[in-house]
Structure 1
């Protein structure tokens, strides 16, 4: 009798243990990605998959202080945050922005969020990275209007706290213009918030609604991926704006900007601009290099016509906008203010 009872107890134990193992496996098992998700992963990449850069907290904090400091302009009226406001997704929502002299620039201020993922900076791609970019507005006569790099270094060296911080972060060289832009760049490299679309690419099928998935299909089928692909959905190439027409006839731009040709002075580079990232595009109007179009719906139609020679339908536009909403992602609150 005891032998039979022992066998029953062992059988129950094995059965329970087997069930527990299966339940554990069921919880950990990752569902297979849909065909649309697999297709999306061939064109795009999640920010969660990016290699983490080892950025020292002290350097990032110094860059943050510099980013918000209006003393980086000649008349103490303009900071990096003035045109790239972190409280409004890294833009000022103006067609063009006023500088330290109250004069307006000629191009729209793009979002600083995700900018470090781009292959180059500015609409004409003249800076190779966010570190080089950070110094150019400071020395621009319309933007920060600082006369030269020595001027701003001398100005900041009168501020004991900055001298101390630069010596701590850059013990070998201290406060230099190169270190100033390097610190700002370090802060900007932290601006990579995770969106719904990133979670979808990572395998969460429920991260997008049915309408957003329809928009993703429309985005792919209408060849938007030709230029807007990769982790930033743009920012990785230069392209002529107006492959099938003159852009200013559609945007009603007040000025015909020749884009890259203004840097290279080559007629073959006329109307070529850096392809913008579409992350947070629903929050960063107005659109295009000159901020000439306020409506995202109109911008999509213009792009379809000028770049793909397509008359996109109203339903497709609505679906694409829904998909673009899945790219919205904001910074942590502590990054937005000092």
Structure 2
């Protein structure tokens, strides 16, 4: 289905749309022009995009992000403000609309969050995970079996709908507390970039968490040469990049419905960067649903494990998978955390 974005007005976008039209609109806009990365926990968001001449263009959002950005979906970002209560907001930076979610009290426990769109019900859902720390479970306010909660935006008035995790083994359950979750279309994933046997995937339509095994044939190293397993959302798939060397990767993708893994291709930038003794490349996010991968160039700081003992520079590169070419570009300094974001005019029906 092809659509003329110019003929879709803001008023139409704010009204109820069919699932097919919403998907067609997002696919058209997102695959052609939108953002890739910005800083977490900052009032600045510096995305870059492909312009009409297919060149990298950098721009600053014209919206002041007031709080820490935790997640993004279809142009909507999830912001959190941590005081004696936790205040969460869904914001569309392109339209400057903002919607407050039900707040909740906290005893100092840290949380992770994710927002995703459920196509079957045409609803947005927010997932909250309690991260164990400061003896949060010993305090009795939160229990290990009740640490994952789902809220349907515009429907639920409190955070009481818990996701069952009792069926998970301890090794799989520990993934809930390792890193901030990732989202693909209608799914939330808990992963660990230091390698784990599992990926935990929450189907937001059924609200069931399933542990999926990672490919058993992945290369494994130990000690300082241990490989980085980097998980990144890639459209409707979860991708996994295994850095075989500082400048080469195996790229895999997983179907979130079944946990089926497929090896896609290898990326080899050794010929171009092998002489760069004091830098490493870190994958940040995908453009055009897997056609292009953005890397940050990190400077190695002294000796030791280059994966951890490094810092970001201003330089990033955009690698085109099909053409096997890369293009360097610059971002503002001191950007160390990145989040894939897609500009759109989408808003929440009824909010």
When normalised by structure 1's length, the TM-score is 0.24
Higher share of residues assigned helix: 1
